[in-house]
Amino acid sequence: MTAPCPGRCGYHDIGGLTAGEIDPAEEPVEFWHKQNEAMRGLLGDPLRRMVTVDEMRRAFESFGEEKYTRLSFYERRLEAMLDILTEKGLIDREAFMQRVDAALAARAAADAK
């Protein structure tokens, strides 16, 4: 099968391409996946409009093929939101990641007790 958009497809334009069999088994939905979707809904709602669907698509398309294919669906969505919020100056990504690391360490310590 040829590409659906010869000469202009990006690595993310996979519709219509042969990719082998699809595994019909449902992937488990983790709690953070639900949190991620809730955050996306809040950031993009009509009241806030901090992250739009168009911005999310642009972010996905700017990842580069290696990053795009390495990340899962939910990881791509989270990365895109972080990229957009950082670009807009709404968060400091480094400070955000430090807080995430601290929260994960605190949780691991609590779980170890």
pLDDT tens readout for residues 67-98: 988 999 999 999 999 999 999 999 999 999 99
Model's pTM, two decimal places?
0.77
Residue 3 lies in a domain: no
Mean pLDDT lowest for which of 3-7, 11-15, 74-78, 81-85? 3-7
Domain extent, residue 81, equals 31-112
On whether residue 25 sits in a domain, the answer given is no
Segment 18-42, tens digit of pLDDT: 667 877 888 889 999 999 999 999 9
Asked if residue 26 is part of any domain, the answer here is no
Total domains in the fold of the chain: 1
Residue-by-residue DSSP string for the chain: ---SSTTT--TT--TTS-------SPPPPPHHHHHHHHHHHHHTSTTT-SS-HHHHHHHHHHS-HHHHHHS-HHHHHHHHHHHHHHHTTS--HHHHHHHHHHHHHHHHHHHH-
The predicted structure's pLDDT at residue 23:
77
Could you tell me the two tokens for 21?
């069999």
Residue 7 domain-assigned (yes or no): no
| 14: in domain | no
The half-sphere exposure of 103 on its side-chain side, counting CA atoms within 13 A, is 6
In a domain, 53, yes or no: yes
